[in-house]
Every structure is written in C-alpha cells, then in structure tokens.
Amino acid sequence: MTNRTSLQKNLGIGLTLGVILLWLLGVIASGLVAQHEMNEVFDSALEETAQRILPLAVTDILNRETGTGNQRAPAMKDHDEYLTYLVRDDQGNLLLQSHDADPRVFGTLPGEGFSNTSTHRIYGASAVSDTIYIEVAEPLAHRREAALEAGLALLMPLIFLIPVSLLGVWWMVRLSLRKVVEFQQSIESRGAGDLSPVAGDRLPKEFEPIAVAVNRLLERLHRALEAERSFTANSAHELRTPLATALAKVQRLKTQVQSDQLKNNVAEIEEALRSLSMLSGKLLELAKAEGGGAISQSRHNLVPILAMIVADFEGQVPGRIILNLPESEVNSFLDPDAFAILVRNLIENALRHGSHKQPVEVSMVNDGTLRVCNGGNIVPPEQLALLRNRFARSKTDAAGSGLGLAIADAIATGAGLTLHLRSPATGRQDGFEAELNVAGAR
Ligand SMILES: Nc1ncnc2c1ncn2[C@@H]1O[C@H](COP(=O)(O)OP(=O)(O)OP(=O)(O)O)[C@@H](O)[C@H]1O
Ligand SMILES: [Mg+2]
C-alpha cells in the first residue's frame, strides 16, 4: 500500500472543509445576533401594541352601562389573530378580550412587563392606578420560525460554496503546480545519459531549491563521469605509442640475440607487451562505449557492416564462421562504429572461448535480431550473470582481459538495447549465445 498523497486532493479537501467550518461558525454567530435583534423588534412591537390598545380598552370599559363583565372585542372581519390580548382587573377578572384570545395562555393574575410561558411571549401594562391590566400575547413559535428561516437563508449559499470551493481550490492548485509538473516531466522524460541541467527558472519559489540541488548534483555527476572517462581514454591512448615502440624494439632484439635462453626471455617480454597493447586497446574501446555516442543522428543499414567484419575474421580463421544475413536492410540508430566494436567483441569471444572444433554461427534476421552462437562448455548461471562486469572472466584457458562483454554491454545499454547472454545456446545442449535486437536502438 502506498501512503503517498496528492497535494491537489489534500489542499482541495482541507481548504473546502475549512471554508465550510468557518461559514458554519459565521452562520451561527450571525443567526444569534439576528435572533437577538429580532426579539428586540418583536418585543418593541408587543409593547407598542399594548400601549396603544390600553387607553381604548379603558375608555370602553369605563363607558359601559352594564358595569363590569367580560366582553369580547368584535372582529371587524373574519381573520386569524397573531397577537391576542386580555384586559383584566387586578383580581384577574376578565373585562375585555380579543376575539381569538385564549385565557389559559395567560397567568391567573395579571402582571406588568415582559414574561415568557412555554408557548407565548407576554407583555403586560396597567392603567387607572393599577386596577386595569392589559396583557398582549404573541406565540413564540412565530419567532422561532423567523429565526429558523433566517438561519436557513444563511445556510443556503453553502450548497454553492462547497462545489465552487472544491473546484476553485483544485483549479488554483493545478495552476500553481503546472510548472512543477512540467519540471517533473522534463526530468522523467530525459534519457539516462542526459546530464544537462534541468530548467528550473520558472518554478515557484518554494520549489526552486530542488532544481538548484538537482542541477548541482547533475553537474558533479557529469564532472565525475567525465574525469573517469577521460582518464581511461587518455591513459589508453598514452600507452599505445610507447607500447608499440617497445614491441618493435623487442622484436628487433629477438633477431639479434644468439642464446636460446635469452631468446625465450625476450619472447616472453614480447608476449607481455602484446597483451598490454591489447588491454590498452580494450580500455580505449570501453572508454568510448561508456562515453555515449552509441546512438547516431540518422539510421544506417548495419547488414554490410556485419558482412565486412565477418569477412575480416574469415581472413584470420578461414571456414570457422557460418554467416546468415537477412535479405532486406536492417536500419538502426545504433552508431556504425559502436556496432562494429560490439560485433567484433562478440565474434572474438566465440572464436576464442568456444569449442575450436565447432563453427561459430553469426546471424542477423530481418527484424534486426543479431545472434552470435558457438559450441563448447556451458558457463554456469552464477558466472554468466557476472560476465558483463569489467575484468570478469569465467574459467577459460584463452587469454583475455575480461573487458569484451563489458564493452558490448555498455554499447547496448547506451543505445537503449538489451544484450542477452545464454548458456547453453538456444536449441543446443552446450555452447554460448549472445543476442540483441539492433532495431530498437534509440
Ligand atoms: N562465446 C563465449 N563462449 C564461452 N565463454 C565466453 C564467451 N564469451 C565470453 N565468455 C566468457 O566470458 C568471459 C568474459 O568475456 P569478455 O569478452 O568480457 O572477456 P575476455 O574475452 O576474457 O577478454 P577480452 O575480451 O577483454 O579480451 C570470458 O573470459 C569467457 O570466460
Ligand atoms: Mg572477449
């Protein structure tokens, strides 16, 4: 399971939740303030109504001919009452009531000022030396409904706010990370051999240090590789001339000395110089192979090159190589020089390490698959796996430095190809086979 997270997703969800939470807190706060203000307005209206009705009620009651007793204020038109009122004397006897008023809502004795019952808000006022009281009642449900509607109205924008915030954050993050994604893709898409600096100048400020660090690392790597390559190349090159001179001198010396003992010694020196010269040649090839340049700018037909190399070997070991060439051209981006070095090393190995009694098969087919195959003892798998390492050799009597397969592998890898080594060879009980498809070079 991976615990890698997406910055875009995290920021989108986190910021949206934050906005929702803040909005809810805002809704609660403004709801409470609105409710408080509404209560004040409602209370003031309640008080105003009581003060307005009271003088009218008192005049009405005092002018009655029948004296005291309850009377219901007639309704001008049929309607539902929102505010109801009772007019009572200080003993609680009803004198007047609005036509919808329910006396059970009010207390048994009238009082002054604001009070609450479970269902109503009541305001009481008195007149005529506290002998006549008016009480106006307003249902609390009405206030609750008003507060609820105000709260819902404040919550409504959340329906739009959530998707808009999610989309907005997603878009903003995507926009801000665009350069970072481009940076990541440019690093991802470059080949393994490309050590040129990455372009980080358009990155957001926070990411700039990454580009700087990557470039510094690439530069150090480039310098280290360059130093290693030029050292190998230079030393191999510098060795060549003095070696050739020494070899020539030793050969001349061999003709001049008379004693057989001395002749043998000189021959040994000549042999040592020869293998030293071969080693320097291989080191030069390895330096070239590892220095890149296995890819050429255009495609080349590799079939004639293969034919030429085999013809070269034919001169040295007549009749040992069986060559099979494709009918059509095999065009590849693999550099012709690099291809020649690679093929030479593979054929040289087959001739040198394979059974001398069996032929070496070199074949190329139309799809670009090259096979070099020889008979001989099987190379054990654990040794086979190590043969591409520099200076790695399996048990063999033949001379060599152990660089041939390292060179071949470096060229193949540099061209994006895979060199397959198999022992026993495909379709045989013994032998060794090297195979690669040159068509895939890029
Ligand atoms: N065609 C082959 N058949 C059998 N063994 C092989 C073959 N090719 C390579 N090997 C084994 O792999 C080892 C490494 O090969 P490689 O070409 O790297 O070095 P080398 O041939 O010994 O020396 P160099 O090529 O540097 O002169 C050889 O020593 C040999 O044991
Ligand atoms: Mg070799």
pLDDT digits (tens, 9 = 90+) for 146-175: 888 888 888 888 888 888 888 888 888 888
Q: What number does the ligand 1 atom closest to the CA of 350 have?
A: 1
pLDDT of residue 324: 96
Q: Beta partners for 321? A: 360
Would you say residue 1 has pLDDT above 50?
Answer: no
Residue-range definition of the domain harbouring residue 273: 191-291
Residue 253 sits in a domain whose CATH number is 1.10.287
Residue 137 sits in a domain whose CATH number is 3.30.450
In this structure, are 38 and 79 located in the same domain? yes
CB 410 within 8 A of CB 331: no
Q: How many helices (H) and strands (E) in the chain?
A: 9, 13
In this structure, are 139 and 219 located in the same domain? no
Q: Which residue has the higher pLDDT, 278 or 234?
A: 278
In this structure, are 397 and 359 located in the same domain? yes
In this structure, are 198 and 287 located in the same domain? yes
Give the mutation target among 313, 360, 396 for probing the ligand 1 site: most ligand atoms within 8 A of CB. 396
Give the pLDDT mean for 108-132: 88
Is residue 223 situated within a structural domain?
yes
Q: Left if phi > 0, otherwise alpha if psi is -120 to 50, otherwise beta: which for 115? A: beta
Average pLDDT of the residues of the chain: 87
Nearest CA to ligand 1 atom 2: 350
Q: What number does the ligand 1 atom closest to the CA of 388 have?
A: 18
CB 244 within 8 A of CB 219: no
Residue 326 sits in a domain whose CATH number is 3.30.565.10
Would you say residue 94 has pLDDT above 90?
Answer: no
Q: How distant, in Å, are the alpha carbons of 128, 288, 303, 346, 434 from that of 420?
A: 117, 21, 20, 12, 6
Give the pLDDT mean for 299-326: 95
In this structure, are 283 and 323 located in the same domain? no
In this structure, are 262 and 365 located in the same domain? no
* Helix or strand (DSSP H, E) at 87: strand 84-89
Q: How far apart are CA 49 and CA 245, in angstroms?
A: 127
- The most confident of 31-35, 225-229, 353-357, by mean pLDDT: 353-357
Give the mutation target among 342, 344, 349 for probing the ligand 1 site: most ligand atoms within 8 A of CB. 349
Q: What number does the ligand 1 atom closest to the CA of 278 have?
A: 27
In this structure, are 105 and 243 located in the same domain? no
Of 15-24, 165-174, 226-235, 264-273, minimum mean pLDDT range: 226-235
How do beta strands 295-301 and 331-334 pair?
A: antiparallel
**CB of residue 280 inside a 6 A radius of ligand 1:** no
In this structure, are 265 and 222 located in the same domain? yes
Domain end among 291, 320, 336: 291
pLDDT of residue 408: 96
In this structure, are 227 and 296 located in the same domain? no
Task: Find, among 16, 27, 15, 18, the residue nearest to 156 by Cα.
Answer: 27
**CB of residue 401 inside a 6 A radius of ligand 1:** yes
In this structure, are 305 and 375 located in the same domain? yes
pLDDT tens for 238-281 read 888 898 999 999 999 989 988 889 999 999 999 999 998 888 88
Domain count, the chain: 3
* CB-proximal residues (5 Å) to ion ligand 2: 349, 404
% of the chain beyond a pLDDT of 70: 95
Matching residue, tokens 């400020």: 205
Is residue 175 situated within a structural domain?
no
pLDDT tens for 396-427 read 788 888 999 999 999 999 899 999 999 999 99
